[in-house]
Amino acid sequence: MKLLLVPVLLAVCVGADKLDDQIKKAEGFALGCLAQHKGLTQEHLVLLRDGDFSKVDGETKCFLRCFLQQANFMDASGKLQNDYAIERLSLNREKSKVEALVKKCSAEVEDSCETAFRAVECYHREKASLL
């Protein structure tokens, strides 16, 4: 099954020349996380891909945490890796804009699944600021 979710952190912010490799990595990360979060359906992933967060539940939020951890945007303890995010997302974008976006989308809360969800939702909402 070709995975339909390519999170905004990787798909929107990388250079076109590296997009295919990033998509393949993202699909691998997502498949690994799906194996851990069996309660998710293809519908959940399509909604996430399209930026529709209306049906996000705890399982979905923890899937996003798993994904961010696999992509090294979040460490094992649930702390967002802002320096790494800035490094990766500025490969083909203006660094000052990326820094502002990462700062805006880095609110951490006690629940690391919720932190991951808030970060992904914010990146999706604010991605136009990188253009």
| pLDDT beyond 60 at 10 | no
Mean per-residue pLDDT for 32-51? 83
Cα 80 off chain centre by:
11
Return the CATH number of 55-130, one of 2.40.420.20, 3.40.50.261, 1.10.569.10, 1.10.238.20.
1.10.238.20
Mean per-residue pLDDT for 43-65? 88
| pLDDT beyond 50 at 113 | yes
- pLDDT for 91 equals 79
Q: Burial code of 78-103, b = ≥16 C-beta within 10 A, e = fewer?
A: bebbbeebbebbbeebeeeebeebbe
Mean per-residue pLDDT for 10-34? 67
Mean per-residue pLDDT for 35-58? 85
Give the confidence band of 20 by pLDDT, cuts at 50, 70, 90: low
Q: What is the model's pTM? A: 0.82
